[in-house]
Amino acid sequence: MKYLIAGLGNIGPEYSLTRHNVGFMALDRLAAQQSFSFKMERLAYTGEFKHKGKQIYCIKPTTYMNLSGNAINYWLQALKIPAENLLVICDDLALPFGKLRLKTKGSHGGQNGLRNIEEKLGTNAYNRLRFGIGNNFHAGKQVDYVLKAFNEDEMIQLVDRLDRVGEIILNFCTTGVERTMNFYNE
């Protein structure tokens, strides 16, 4: 059984610790824990590992957030992975910082990466793990907020939350999305 885990973010050092890059951060943390590394390939940094007999492929699209669907669609087809074995990890302004919500389908909620994935896959029925980044910004400052680094208090909590995302990924691949949602959704 094969799985594709896609962490959304933007490439480049200026984005590395920003709220919008929490998908990349989650996969970097998972790579450290599972002892795999990423290499540059077509449209994404890719890495893979095995867990309990499951082959897990991880990608960090190099297409920037708003075109993430290009990389995800390519790698699903190249690896011959069914869409139900896809899990997308992204930031979510509508959730308080650190809150995690796993869903099997739904609207993009204004998140441009999810919007592009929906367009490229032709459906909104794919698994996504939304990582709450809060919405502590003034009107018209949303872009500045998501492209800003986490504050000191958030950074302290971030490692624990990223570890929780890793648990969710492994559980998703071994016990399925429904059981994972029942156990982990907060």
Please state the domain extents for the chain: 2-184
Q: Does the structural domain 2-184 have CATH classification 3.40.50.1470? A: yes
User: Which residue blocks in 80-140 are alpha helix, DSSP H?
Assistant: 112-121
**Does the active-site annotation cover 20?**
yes
Listed residue (158, 6, 20, 160) closest to 97, CA to CA: 158
pTM of the model: 0.96
pLDDT tens for each residue of 23-80: 999 999 999 999 999 999 999 999 999 999 999 999 999 999 999 999 999 999 999 9
Residue 140 clears pLDDT 90, i.e. is over it: no
Which of 20, 51, 108, 138 is catalytic? The answer is 20
